[in-house]
Amino acid sequence: MTTHGLGSSLAYLLSRAERVVNRGLAAALAAEGVTVEQWRIMRALADGRGESMGELAEAVLMPHPTLTKAVDRLIDRALVYRGPAKGDRRRVAVFVSGRGAELLARIDGAVAEQQALVAAAFGAERTARLMHELEILADTLDRAEVSA
């Protein structure tokens, strides 16, 4: 284990791991012409409730300008659409379209296969434990930011 230079930085190691995982995921999604970011957007909208751009930006970890461009590209492909928010017709929300839901159903298999490859390489139990620990880390740091 590296304990000096960049290898001693948690932020660097998390970024490096994300890059490697996303590289494999991007390759799996490319067959359908979908980027990792576009997949995250459609996956966040898959429940059909719709999300405001602010809610969506937070959910998919994207800054607003980048999200707007990505959503516009998905709208151009008729995979998502903007419409009135359920429960508050004055607000605009983003929804996955029927065509987007069909695409998402097709690529879910590729996403699952990619995650299975990671689990096979790293170990299923270790992968599950890592995912659990990363979720706890993010939640803990989010709470610490709020209370700071």
How do residues 35-88 score in pLDDT, each as one tens digit? 999 999 999 999 999 999 999 999 999 999 999 999 999 999 999 999 998 877
What pTM, to 2 d.p., does this model score? 0.85
Neighbouring CB atoms inside 10 A of 137's CB total: 12
pLDDT at residue number 99: 97
Q: Provide long-range contacts, Cβ within 8 A and 24+ apart, for 29-34.
A: 29/107, 29/110, 29/111, 31/110, 32/103, 32/106, 32/107, 32/110, 34/103, 34/107
Judging by DSSP bridges, how do beta strands 80-85 and 88-96 pair with one another? antiparallel
Could you tell me the CA-to-CA distances from 138 to 21, 36, 87, 131 in Å, in that order? 18, 20, 30, 11
What is the chain's alpha carbon radius of gyration, rounded to the nearest angstrom?
17
Mean pLDDT within 4-29: 91
